[in-house]
Amino acid sequence: MTMSRETPINLVLAALLFAMPFAALALDEPFYVTLATHMAVLALAAVGLNLALGLGGLVSFGHAAFFGLGGYAAGILSTHVLNMQPLLTWPLEIGASDQMPVIWLVAIAVSGLVALAIGAISLRTSGVYFIMITLAFAQMIYYFAISWPAYGGEDGLSIATRGAFPGVNTAVPLTFFLVCYAVLVAVLVLFALVRDSRFGAALQASRQNETRLAAVGIGPFPVRLAAFVLSAMITALAGALYADLNRFASPSMLSWQMSGELIVLIILGGTGRLFGPVAGAMLFVLIESVLGGLTERWQFFLGLILLGVVLFARGGLIGLVAGKPRHG
Amino acid sequence: MAEPVLSIRELRKNFGALKATDNVSLDLRPGEIHALIGPNGAGKTTLIHQISGAIRPDSGAIEFLGEDVGALGMAARARKGLGRSFQISSLASEFSALRNVMLAVQAAQGSSFRFFKPVMHDTSLTEPALAVLERVGLAQRARLPAAELSHGERRKLEIAIALALGPKAFLFDEPMAGMGPEGSKDLTGFLDGLRREAPILLVEHDMDAVFALADRISVLVYGRIIATGTVDEIRRDPEVRRAYLGEHA
Ligand SMILES: Nc1ncnc2c1ncn2[C@@H]1O[C@H](COP(=O)(O)OP(=O)(O)OP(=O)(O)O)[C@@H](O)[C@H]1O
Ligand SMILES: [Mg+2]
């Protein structure tokens, strides 16, 4: 990875988010530990979407589907563990697990398969049609979830005990924050590697000019499909952590509002920028908790801020501070 | 005579009532520059689009290296060795000139599903790309975003990208357009040597360049080829003079 004008602000953001729960505990405000965890997890979900939307220009309005699938993976595994039921009995018996790494793998695998199917169909379209078709798929999954009583239906699924992580006690809020933060950092590293790789070059070229990409012999479709799947997997991982954070897998995780929120986070922070989702999630959660405490109509003010960003600061927070991205 | 590299048979393409390509047959032989000339709107670009796979013909066959490529998409044909440029520069505008060419080098190596190695530190991409930029005289401008290059430089970058593919045939759609007399002269010399690497189907309005370069010329008018022949044959052809060359011959 190369140093760029972005690097200092990225480091500041990373340090701020890291310091927040420690400061909160020092000031005896434990609620802010949860808030910081919320920021880290939302940032992670948006890093996933940023891969498709920021690098590939794929405006998925259905990423809540993957966020929710991750959440339900955590919820369903935890329910099975609680009731001591195997997850599957046929064709082979698979036991449930309360280990986070197992939950994450399930979330990633399931969402990857679903994204492969959704992407294979949606990516035949582009523009507004792509937005609408991804929304439609996510809504189908939403309605499926609320009409499936075995796993909570409209009430969602509560998680009796948070998933375990080898060697640490995830029930301690700070510990759980550190787990989420570590995952976020690992995925940011992955994002930077992918962005700068051959695949990343093809993906970004597909956004800038798909005819050019095809003219050199790289079909845009497989590149986009791979990006869509990878993107969904990351967002699902965030969903699993989000459910564990709230000890609850809610159908609202699958709602179109959630998809919209992820897009808003990215636009606020800086589309396609490594730390755009982090900046966006921190700002969003801050606005939500500060303004939300003052007025019921905090979303109105969020709307104003978003309007300002779209009109005057297209590059979002990162763009405002670090200027345009350089591509070498 | 050697087998043609590219061979088009009875190609037809209508846009509504407009016959943009009307029963066109032509071929491209090893080592030659075959110029395709004709008035504005004659269907030259439409023909290039069909050969490269950007649009589908209504009927007819396109054979490349002895193989029917009609069913293949644009990317697959490029991988077979069809390197094209666009009449209106079509680049990854945020990427630098270097990265635009590197994309072609990477495509030629057939390896876009590598997720971890940073391209800017990959000399198997940067070195060939820089060498190609050097050849077209863009090495000094390698790090500039394509969007910030001048018109003439973007035209050269188009050529560089095609070159970096190491193709078996070039399809150039008005590479001289807007290059100015000096630029056209340079490019004419460059294309003259390039035919030794791969034959060129050259769409061009610059008649000085065409007459200097072409081994054969085909004249397209209203989607139909009205004549094919050597430079002298075409210059003498009365129908060609009436339909197109009048002011040039
Ligand atoms: N996608 C399209 N739909 C409808 N008509 C089209 C389309 N593309 C081209 N045409 C028409 O087909 C005809 C041939 O266009 P084409 O661009 O191939 O001409 P050309 O010979 O390249 O002209 P020029 O010398 O100006 O570049 C024109 O009349 C054009 O308006
Ligand atoms: Mg044209």
pLDDT in tens, B73-128: 999 999 999 999 999 999 999 999 999 999 999 999 988 999 999 999 999 999 99
Tell me the CA–centroid distance for residue A248 and ligand 1, in Å: 59
Q: Which domain covers residue A228, as residue numbers?
A: 4-322
Structural domains present in chain B:
1-81+170-188+198-249 (3.40.50.300), 89-166 (no CATH)
Mutation probe of ligand 1 site: the residue of B15, B52, B58, B207 with most atoms within 8 A of C-beta: B15
**Residue of A209, A217, A222 lying closest to B107 (CB–CB):** A217
Residue B246 pLDDT exceeds 80? no
State mean pLDDT over B219-227: 94
| Cα dihedral sign, B202-B205-B210-B214 | positive
Write out chain A residues lying below 8 Å of B92, CB-based. 204-205, 208-209, 212-213
Percentage of chain B modeled with pLDDT above 90: 88
Count of domains forming chain A = 1
pLDDT along chain A (328 residues), means of 10: 77 98 95 96 98 97 98 93 80 82 96 98 96 98 92 88 92 97 98 98 97 97 98 98 96 96 96 97 93 85 89 90 82
- Domain membership of residue A328 (yes or no) is no
User: What's the pLDDT at A7?
Assistant: 92
CA pair distance A228, A128, nearest whole angstrom: 17
- What are the contacts of B129-133 at 24+ separation with CB within 8 A? B129/B98, B129/B101, B129/B102, B129/B104, B129/B105, B129/B164, B130/B98, B132/B101, B132/B105, B132/B160, B132/B163, B132/B164, B133/B97, B133/B98, B133/B101, B133/B160
Write out chain A residues lying below 8 Å of B143, CB-based. 328
* Cβ–Cβ contact B76 with A under 8 A: yes
Strands A248-249 and B6-15: unpaired
- Domain membership of residue A84 (yes or no) is yes
State mean pLDDT over B2-30: 95
Q: Flag whether the ipTM exceeds 0.90.
A: yes
Q: pLDDT tens across A24-74, in order?
A: 999 999 999 999 999 999 999 999 999 999 999 999 999 999 999 999 999
Residue B33 pLDDT exceeds 70? yes
CB A292, CB A302: distance < 8 Å: no
CA pair distance B249, B247, nearest whole angstrom: 6
User: What's the pLDDT at A141?
Assistant: 97
User: What's the pLDDT at A91?
Assistant: 73
User: What's the pLDDT at A1?
Assistant: 45
Lowest mean pLDDT among A40-44, A212-216, B176-180, B211-215: B176-180
CATH number of the domain encompassing residue A241: 1.10.3470
Report pTM. 0.95
Percentage of chain B modeled with pLDDT above 70: 98
- Domain membership of residue A327 (yes or no) is no
User: What's the pLDDT at A298?
Assistant: 86
